[in-house]
Chains A and B, each alone.
Chain A
Amino acid sequence: MIWRAVGVGSWTWSSPQWLRYTGQTSEDSSGSGWLAAVHPDDRATARLSWERAGAIGEFHADLRIASQDGSYKWFQTRGEPIRDDAGTIIEWIGTSTDVDDLRQLQAEQKILVAELQHRTRNLIAVVHSIFVQTLRGCASINDLRDRFEDRLAALSRVQGLLSTSEHEPITLRRLIEMELHALGDGQLESQVVLSGPDTVVRSSTAQTLALAVHELSTNALKYGALSNQAGMLTVNWYEYAKEGQPWLFLTWQETGLQVPPELLSRPSGYGKILIERALPQQTGARTKMQLGTDGMDCFIDLPLKHFQQDDLHG
């Protein structure tokens, strides 16, 4: 939209596009009549910009301008002076460009950047937490390195799932399969039975749940049912309603172990605390781990909707 003006923002002409967009007539827009189409909150900006324009030799302002139907859009308005031979400004010619989409994208980008910063901070806190807890009860630096790298890899895998979770919801099955596949180099299929519906896990739960599954899997591989060919791991789950809310009940069951139970190591202190304390705190779940006659059993009773508030904090 193009316009011409004299003095301090006194319009002498406006283009047909301006008249069409605002619904003003040429007479309406002339003089300072065009200000009527500017959002009341932006009129002071418009006047101030005109007052400065003479001094700096340029008019520049972002203004919301009303269309015929009364809705506002952001326009970037710029004007250039035309001077006579003596250098005196005799007229201004300017344009108003629709930058509404751009402004909206910028606003969305600001929100995304804030969210990203929040997530980054949170992730650093999680890595820090995993490190200091892995440090406890480690026998040597090598031991620390192995365990820490293992957990970091699991955390990284679940970040991968989370990064695409908007298009591809994270299902419990995918989460468990991913972990077992990564740890077992794809060699465990014959020893593992997964059965249950395509339960979708909320993203705020996925990270802690994935780390819990990692601890259970690591334990099964090192000491439990997956540590020899004869063992079997069965994970089954179902959804049910409790007090009108959807819940998930998961059973992790290891069988067929030939090792006497007293030789079985429970998951490390870290895994145990993660499953018995952290998971309930984060998700409102109830959990139980027990050493059965032929392996580890773990039960996780998990609300599928947040017990307090929803995914605000990822």
Chain B
Amino acid sequence: MDDDARQFLFGEQVLVVEDDAMVGMALVNCLEDLGAEVSWSSTVEAALENISAIHPIAIAIVDFNLNGSTSALVIDALIYRKIPTVLCTGYDASFLEQRFHVLPCVAKPFTRSKMMAVLHKLV
């Protein structure tokens, strides 16, 4: 907890879409340490519900693989609403659909410093 900009997400709404419980938990903890209010969903349906219910979402962090399907629907909804979005993927990013290539992408397992660097650029 020795980052220069501690709590740089203070009071911001952050959406996490991650189906793995342990990975999601670590991410939520990390974001809450930074002061964010985190909404965590692990399915496409729940994520879409959160996207329409929460305003404004400052940042969304989305795992590309959700229980064997993809979160493309969720990402499209976020792009449509111009919400800054970070993609997480456990695999090679090359198979991502072309339209998602513009989004920042963090390979799993990601380190805290890597995630912080990406978030800093977005806020």
**Do B29 and A273 touch across chains, with their CB atoms under 8 A apart?**
yes
Q: Is A313 an interface residue (CB 8 A)?
A: yes
**Do B25 and A274 touch across chains, with their CB atoms under 8 A apart?**
yes
Number of interface residues of B (CB under 8 A): 24
Q: Is A308 an interface residue (CB 8 A)?
A: yes
Using CB atoms, name the residue of chain B closest to A155.
B22
**Do A125 and B68 touch across chains, with their CB atoms under 8 A apart?**
no
Q: Is B30 an interface residue (CB 8 A)?
A: yes
Instruction: Please judge, given known A-B contacts A133-B26, A133-B29, whether A312 and B68 are in contact too, CB under 8 Å.
Output: yes
Instruction: Please judge, given known A-B contacts A125-B108, A309-B67, whether A281 and B26 are in contact too, CB under 8 Å.
Output: no
Q: Which residues of A contact B20 (CB under 8 A)?
A: 122, 125-126, 282
Compute how far the CA of A130 lies from the CA of B109 in the bound complex, rounded to whole angstroms. 13
Query: What 1/0 flags go to B23-34 for Cβ under 8 Å of A?
Result: 111101110010
Q: Is the interface of A mostly helix, strand, loop or mixed?
A: helix
**Do B25 and A273 touch across chains, with their CB atoms under 8 A apart?**
yes
Compute how far the CA of A282 lies from the CA of B23 in the bound complex, rounded to whole angstroms. 11
The residue in A129, A132, A274 that gathers the most chain B C-beta atoms within 10 A of its C-beta is A129
Using CB atoms, name the residue of chain B closest to A125.
B109
Compute how far the CA of A307 lies from the CA of B112 in the bound complex, rounded to whole angstroms. 31
Q: Is A52 an interface residue (CB 8 A)?
A: no
Compute how far the CA of A122 lies from the CA of B22 in the bound complex, rounded to whole angstroms. 10
Q: Is A250 an interface residue (CB 8 A)?
A: no
Q: Is B13 an interface residue (CB 8 A)?
A: no
Q: Of residues 85 to 123 in B, which have CB atoms within 8 Å of A's CB atoms? A: 90, 108-109, 112
Q: Is A278 an interface residue (CB 8 A)?
A: yes
Using CB atoms, name the residue of chain B closest to A312.
B68
Q: Is A136 an interface residue (CB 8 A)?
A: yes
Q: Which residues of A contact B33 (CB under 8 A)?
A: 136
Binding site for A on B (CB under 8 A): 18-26, 28-30, 33, 40-43, 67-69, 90, 108-109, 112
Interchain Cβ contacts under 8 Å between A and B, 17 examples: A121-B108, A122-B90, A125-B23, A128-B109, A132-B26, A132-B112, A133-B26, A211-B22, A274-B25, A277-B25, A277-B28, A281-B19, A281-B24, A281-B41, A306-B67, A312-B67, A312-B68
